[in-house]
Amino acid sequence: MRILNASGCLDALAAPEVARELDAFVTKTVTPLPREGSAPPRIAETAQGMLNAIGLANPGRERFLGEHLPRLHELGVSLWVSVGGFCADDYAETCSRLADIEAIELNLSCPNVDEAAHSAAEIVSACRRATELPLYAKLSAAHPDVADVARAVAAAGADGLSLINTLRAVALDKELRPVLARGSGGLSGPALKPIALYAVGVCQEATGLPIVGMGGIQNGRDALEFAACGARDVALGTVLFADPGAPARVRAELATACADAAVATPDDARTLAKSPETERKVPA
C-alpha cells in the first residue's frame, strides 16, 4: 500500500520535506486558466471535519507546465498531476501536454466550482484519447450511485479511481450566517471516513480497478480499513494540516495495525474481509 496526499492538501514546493515522505505527490488541480480561488474566509472547522472553499486556486496550465512542474521534478518525488476543467476538451488538452509523470488524476468532483462539467465518462474518454499515461478518475460520493459512475469511467478507459472527494456542506457562525465567504464548501476529515469506505467497497466490486482511497484517514488503522474495503493505495488530506509528519507516522502505524489484525500486508486485509466468514460484514 502506497501513501499519497489528497490533491490540494499539500504544496510540495512550500514543504518539500513533507512531499518526500510520500510515495507519490499529487498536485493541486490544474485548470486551463489561472484561478485566484474563492474569497476568504475559505476554511472552517466542524465536528469531526473541516470545510474548505479554496475554489481550485492554481496558476493555470501554462504557468504550471512552464514553472511549477519543472521545480516539482527537481524534488525527486513521483508525481501525479491533478487535472481539472469545465469541458472535456479542457481536461484532454492538459492531459496531452503532460509527460514524465507517474499518473494523471482527473478531478471530476470539485464541490467548489459553479461551472457545470461534462459527464465524467465523456471527460475520461476524451483524456484517454489524449494520453497514454495512467488515468485515475476522482469521483464524488455525492452521486446516488457512485458504483454506476465508476463503471462508466472504467468503460471510458480509466486505469484507476480516486475515492472520494470532499462533500458539499455548510457551517454557520454564531449569528447563523455561513462561515465561508462562498457559503458552502467541501467537507473533509474523519466525518467522511464511513462514506469513503462504502464508496471504495462498491466501486472496487463494480470495476476491479486499483483505487486510491481517501477521506478522513488519521492513522494506520484507518488506512488498513481502506485496504480491507478494496483500496490498493491511500491518500492523506486533512490530517496533513495538523500533522505534517503524518505520512511517516501512518506508514509505521499501518505495519502495527496489520500485525494487530493478523494480516501480513494491507492487501491481505481485503482477502480476509472477503473470506466466507467475514464477507457479509463488509460493503459490496
What is the set of active-site residues? 110
37 belongs to the binding site for other proteins (CB under 8 A): yes
Cβ proximity to other proteins, 13 vs 87, nearer residue: 13
Cβ proximity to other proteins, 102 vs 243, nearer residue: 243
Q: Which stretch binds other proteins (CB under 8 A): 16-24, 121-129, 162-170, 257-265?
A: 16-24
Nearest approach, Cβ of residue 172 and other proteins (Å): 13
Nearest approach, Cβ of residue 173 and other proteins (Å): 9
Residue entry with cell 479542457: 90
Give the contacts of 17 (CB within 8 A, at least 6 positions apart). none
Nearest approach, Cβ of residue 195 and other proteins (Å): 16
Nearest approach, Cβ of residue 86 and other proteins (Å): 20
CA-CA-CA-CA torsion for 187, 4, 139, 41, nearest 10 degrees? 30
* Contact characters 248-267, other proteins, x per CB under 8 A: --------------------
213 belongs to the binding site for other proteins (CB under 8 A): no
Nearest approach, Cβ of residue 44 and other proteins (Å): 7
CA distance 22 to 103: 15
Q: Which stretch binds other proteins (CB under 8 A): 36-44, 122-130, 153-161, 273-281?
A: 36-44
- Residues in a beta bridge with 160: 136
Where in 158-197 is the site for other proteins (CB under 8 A)? 181, 189-190
Quick one: cell of 73? 521534478
Q: Which stretch binds other proteins (CB under 8 A): 7-15, 122-130, 147-155, 158-166?
A: 7-15
76 belongs to the binding site for other proteins (CB under 8 A): no
Find, among 199, 118, 116, the residue nearest to 161 by Cα: 199
- Residues in a beta bridge with 137: 106, 161
Quick one: cell of 252? 509505521
10 belongs to the binding site for other proteins (CB under 8 A): yes
Q: Which stretch binds other proteins (CB under 8 A): 69-77, 120-128, 202-210, 240-248?
A: 240-248
Nearest approach, Cβ of residue 199 and other proteins (Å): 21
Residue 39 in contact with residue 61, Cβ under 8 Å?
Answer: no
In the complex, which residues of this chain contact other proteins (CB under 8 A)? 8-11, 14-18, 28, 36-37, 39-45, 48-50, 52, 54, 57, 181, 189-190, 238, 240-245
